[in-house]
Amino acid sequence: MTVPQKLAALRAAMQEKGVDGVYVPSADPHMSEYLPSHWKSRAWLSGFTGSAGTLCITAEKAALWTDGRYFIQAARQLAGSGIELMRMAQPGVPTVEAWLAETLPQGGVLALDGMCASASSVEALQQAFEEKNITVKDEDFISLLWTEGRPAVPATPVWMLSKEQAGLSASEKLAEVRQKLAENKAGAMLVTRLDSVAWLLNLRASDIAYNPFALAYCLVEQDTARLFIDCTRVPEDVREELARQGVTLCPYEETRSALSGLQGPVTVLYEPAGTSWAMLRAMQENPAVQHKAGAEPVQVLKGTKNETEIALLKQSHRKDGAAMVRFEMELRRRMDAGETWTEMQASDYLLSLRCAQPDSLGASFETIAAYGPNAAMMHYAPTPENCAVIEPHGFLLVDSGGQYRDGTTDITRTYALGPLTEEEREDYTLVLKCHIAAARAVFKEGSAGQNIDILARETLWRRGLDYRCGTGHGVGFVGGVHEGPQSLSARGTAAFVPGMTITDEPGIYEEGKLGIRIENELLCVPVCETEYGKFYGFEPFTYCPIDTRPLVLSLMTQEELEWLNGYHACVKRELAPYLTSEENAWLEKACAPVEP
Residue 275: left (phi > 0), alpha (psi -120 to 50), or beta? beta
Indicate the SS3 state at residue 179: helix
Which domains does the chain carry?
Answer: 3-145 (3.40.350.10), 159-297 (3.40.350.10), 307-586 (3.90.230.10)
Segment 393-437, tens digit of pLDDT: 999 999 999 999 999 999 999 999 999 999 999 999 999 999 999
Inform me whether the pLDDT recorded for 169 exceeds 90.
yes
Q: What is the mean pLDDT of the chain?
A: 97
Segment 280-329, tens digit of pLDDT: 999 999 999 999 999 999 999 999 999 999 999 999 999 999 999 999 99
Environment class of 18 (CB within 10 Å of its CB; exposed 0-12, middle 13-18, buried 19+): exposed
CB 546 within 8 A of CB 564: yes
Instruction: List the beta strands (DSSP E) in 306-458.
Output: 360-363, 368-371, 395-400, 402-404, 407-408, 411-416, 443-444
The residue-averaged pLDDT of 3-25 equals: 97
Inform me whether the pLDDT recorded for 539 exceeds 90.
yes
Three-state SS across 329-356? HHHHHHHHHCCCCEHHHHHHHHHHHHHC
Give pTM, 2 decimals: 0.94
Segment 32-69, tens digit of pLDDT: 999 999 999 999 999 999 989 999 999 999 999 999 88
Other CB atoms within a 10 A radius of the CB of residue 569 amount to 12
Phi, psi of 334 (to 5 degrees): -65, -40
Start-to-end CA distance of the chain, whole Å, equals: 60
Contacts of residue 551, Cβ cutoff 8 Å, sequence gap at least 6:
425, 428, 429, 432, 594
Element (H, E) at 190: strand 188-191
| ∠ CA 544-545-548, rounded to 5° | 160
User: What one-character-per-residue DSSP string does 74-114 give?
Assistant: HHHHHTTTT-EEEETTSTTPPPHHHHHHHHSPTT-EEEE-T
What own/partner pairs with CB < 8 Å and gap ≥ 24 does 461-468 have? Answer: 463/430, 465/430, 465/508, 467/68, 467/506, 467/507, 467/508, 467/509, 468/67, 468/68, 468/69, 468/71, 468/378, 468/509
Contacts of residue 494, Cβ cutoff 8 Å, sequence gap at least 6:
300, 303, 448, 449, 484, 485, 486, 487
Segment 194-209, tens digit of pLDDT: 999 999 999 999 999 9
Residue 185: left (phi > 0), alpha (psi -120 to 50), or beta? left
CA atoms within 13 A on the CB side of 233: 24
Integer Cα distance of 228 and 218 in angstroms: 6
Instruction: Place 158 in a pLDDT band, splitting at 50, 70 and 90.
Output: very high
Element (H, E) at 323: helix 307-337
Integer Cα distance of 39 and 44 in angstroms: 9
Integer Cα distance of 247 and 16 in angstroms: 46
Q: Within the chain, how many helices (H) and strands (E) appear?
A: 19, 28
- In the sheet with 407-408, reading across from the earlier edge strand, the strands are 360-363, 402-404, 407-408
Segment 555-572, tens digit of pLDDT: 999 999 999 999 999 999
Integer Cα distance of 249 and 243 in angstroms: 8
Inform me whether the pLDDT recorded for 596 exceeds 90.
no
Segment 317-361, tens digit of pLDDT: 999 999 999 999 999 999 999 999 999 999 999 999 999 999 999
CB 496 within 8 A of CB 303: no
Environment class of 148 (CB within 10 Å of its CB; exposed 0-12, middle 13-18, buried 19+): exposed
Instruction: Place 247 in a pLDDT band, splitting at 50, 70 and 90.
Output: very high
Inform me whether the pLDDT recorded for 379 exceeds 90.
no
Residue 446: left (phi > 0), alpha (psi -120 to 50), or beta? left
The residue-averaged pLDDT of 76-102 equals: 96
Q: Residues of the chain with pLDDT > 70: what percent?
A: 100
CB 316 within 8 A of CB 402: yes
Q: For residue 373, give Cα distances in angstroms to 72, 327, 447.
A: 11, 21, 37
Q: Enter the DSSP assignment of 250.
A: E
Element (H, E) at 213: none
Indicate the SS3 state at residue 486: strand
Cα–Cα nearest to 484, from 470, 469, 471, 494: 494
Phi, psi of 383 (to 5 degrees): -130, 160
| ∠ CA 325-474-302, rounded to 5° | 120
Phi, psi of 67 (to 5 degrees): -95, 180
CB 555 within 8 A of CB 430: yes
Instruction: Place 378 in a pLDDT band, splitting at 50, 70 and 90.
Output: confident
Indicate the SS3 state at residue 471: coil
Integer Cα distance of 192 and 474 in angstroms: 19
Integer Cα distance of 487 and 496 in angstroms: 9
Instruction: Place 181 in a pLDDT band, splitting at 50, 70 and 90.
Output: very high
